[in-house]
Amino acid sequence: MITVKNLPFFNVVASGVASLELPLGMTFNRIILKLGGTIFTKAMITKIVAKLNGKNFFEITGAYLDKINTYRGLTANAAYLTIDFNEPFAKTVGGMYAGAIGTAQGVNSFTLEVTIAGATAPTLESWSMISEPQPLGLINALVSHPVTFSAAGKFPIVLPHGPNAGHLIERVHFFHTNMTALEVKKNGLLIFEEMAIAINEFIQTEYKHVPQAGLYVYDPIVAQDLARVVDTANAQSLQFNVTVSAADSIGVYAEYATRIERL
């Protein structure tokens, strides 16, 4: 793998959208952002969007991405933020590099947008970790499915499923205030029995993950075995039943292995 410094971002200002067009040809495994300037924190990144051929496939805030990275075991550093398209701790070499963004064929544009709000004289640099050219295939996508509940209770969240979606679910992240438990049903059968936060996080720590406050992670590949992804193509129904102790707005972010045309 080769690490290269990217061209400068355009329009890095205190409040605005900085943008970067990435060169095509190589395969992108991860992109590392460096935040600098007088005052510029990850909390001031209100949106990161990666696009292939003009279509969003990765969208999240800086603070939320930092929590996801920390949960996965990546290094936490106030000045750096990684957009990782790989599974670096997977049990197989093939699994480690699954989901990388091949741009040698099937890609007309690959762009990155970083929305900044409230910074003071910010600077933004980036590096890409790349490997040999490959055509665009299955990619690691991060897709937002926000929901709001007006009272306590147990409520279903339905994510895209069926042959027209065809995503492989690697993880689903629930950013919450009052969520207490989750169960998952596929085709009416329990595939994740109702589990409170404490036991879910204990299991995750046994596999060297780092649970984060205010984040419930449904992680079928918790043991770093990518064969355990949840295939949504053969799902006639797919429900994530969330229990909340009070009204809550939950930021739901699904990590999919999928094709860009399915998003």
Select 145-262's CATH number: 1.10.3720.10, 2.60.120.730, 2.60.40.1220, 3.20.10.10: 2.60.120.730
Contacts of 167 (CB under 8 A, 6+ apart): 141, 160, 161, 232, 233, 254, 256, 257, 258, 262
pTM of this prediction? 0.96
* Cβ pair 138, 72 in contact under 8 A: no
Strands 147-149 and 248-258: antiparallel
Q: Locate tokens 């999919």: which residue?
A: 256
Tens digits of residue pLDDT in 241-262: 999 999 999 999 999 999 999 9
Tens digits of residue pLDDT in 47-58: 999 999 999 999
What residue type is 80 in one-letter code?
Answer: Y
DSSP letter, residue 198: H
Contacts of 152 (CB under 8 A, 6+ apart): 178, 244, 245, 246, 247
Q: What per-residue confidence (pLDDT) applies to 88?
A: 87
Q: What per-residue confidence (pLDDT) applies to 90?
A: 83
pLDDT tens-digit profile, the chain (263 residues): 899 999 999 999 999 999 999 999 999 999 999 999 999 999 999 999 999 999 999 999 999 999 999 999 999 999 999 999 999 888 887 788 889 999 999 999 999 999 999 999 999 999 999 999 999 999 999 999 999 999 999 999 999 999 888 899 999 999 999 999 999 999 999 999 999 999 999 999 999 999 999 999 999 999 999 999 999 999 999 999 999 999 999 999 999 999 999 99
The CATH architecture to which 2-139 belongs is Sandwich (2.60)
**Residue extents of the structural domains in the chain:** 2-139, 145-262
